[in-house]
């Protein structure tokens, strides 16, 4: 079976969000054979049992489901790399378990756009907060020449023209990515130096850009993002300290690149990390 997509999902507790994510994922209009690879990072609620039941219910000739149950938390970096190394599809789709799909054609739209572009590395959608307000969580990531990093459009109405332009950007958060399988290998996946989380996705984007590939934002696809569920309350994770540590690594590697770039969107339209 020729697999078109390897959909890679990381879970850690928060069964309610995982169930919401997977239920919405299974409403996707899949036109070709896919595989779903779910890596659980040692959940202590009923997530593991749910994933096994999910596999039994949905595994079939066109949807291959692989479940990896870790005995301990390998972090976002380690878990995503586990899934990426198992992937056999033409494309890898990286999603967090705190996203919710609201349009069954989201994947086909991202793919159609991706395949129409030259030298594209990653494409990502507009991420919006849950609720009726329709507020943006992230319209890509902006990095100033001084190294300040933030979510573009965070908290702004999703209909504003400024955030509805298809464009090349500096980086995109890995809550939802589409990229060719070969590009994951091209940069050797996520760098374990960013264990357990934070800046690993930005580093990945810059490694791909170093290889001549571009990062694109595609706002015609909107996905709900419940934000930080995958890492929230992780045991032993000092979020602020880890952010500072990993940020210093990222800046030491890539300051010579982003200091020459124009920040994707004016800094007043960014909510900073």
First and final C-alpha spacing in the chain: 43
CA separation for the pair 140, 225 (Å, rounded): 13
Q: How many contiguous H segments (helices) and E segments (strands) does the chain have?
A: 7, 13
- pLDDT, tens only, 130-139: 998 899 999 9
pLDDT at 233: 47
Q: Look at the chain and report how many structural domains it folds into.
A: 1
Report the CATH number at residue 252: 3.90.550.10
- Top pLDDT among 234 and 60 is at 60
Residues 6+ apart with CB under 8 A from 177: 92, 93, 94, 95, 122, 123, 124, 201
Cα separations (Å) of 23 from 28, 102, 159, 209, 255? 9, 11, 26, 34, 41
Domain that holds residue 194: 5-272
- pLDDT, tens only, 197-212: 999 999 999 999 999 9
pTM over 0.85: yes
């Amino acid at each position: 079976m020729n697999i078109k997509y390897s959909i890679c999902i990381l879970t850690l507790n928060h069964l309610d969000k995982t169930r919401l994510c997977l239920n919405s994922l299974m409403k996707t209009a899949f036109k070709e054979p896919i595989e779903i690879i779910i890596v659980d990072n040692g959940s202590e609620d009923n997530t593991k049992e749910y994933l096994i039941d999910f596999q039994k219910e949905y595994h079939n000739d066109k949807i291959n489901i692989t479940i990896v149950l870790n005995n301990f938390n390998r972090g976002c970096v380690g878990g995503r790399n586990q899934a990426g190394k198992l992937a056999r599809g033409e494309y890898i789709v990286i999603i967090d378990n705190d996203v919710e799909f609201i349009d069954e054609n989201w994947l086909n739209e991202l793919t159609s756009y991706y395949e129409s572009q030259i030298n594209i590395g990653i494409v990502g959608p507009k991420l919006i907060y849950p609720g009726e307000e329709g507020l943006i969580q992230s319209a890509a990531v902006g990095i100033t020449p001084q190294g300040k990093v933030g979510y573009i459009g965070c908290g702004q109405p999703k209909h504003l023209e400024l955030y509805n332009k298809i464009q090349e950007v500096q980086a995109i958060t890995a809550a939802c990515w589409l990229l060719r399988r070969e590009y994951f290998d091209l940069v050797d996946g996520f760098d374990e130096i960013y264990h357990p989380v934070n800046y690993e996705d930005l580093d990945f984007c810059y490694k791909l850009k170093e290889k001549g590939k571009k990062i694109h934002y595609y706002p015609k696809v909107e996905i709900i993002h419940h934000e930080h569920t995958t890492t929230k309350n992780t045991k032993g994770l000092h979020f602020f300290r880890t952010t500072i540590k990993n940020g210093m690594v990222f800046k030491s590697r890539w300051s010579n690149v982003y200091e020459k770039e124009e920040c994707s969107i004016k800094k007043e339209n960014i909510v900073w990390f």
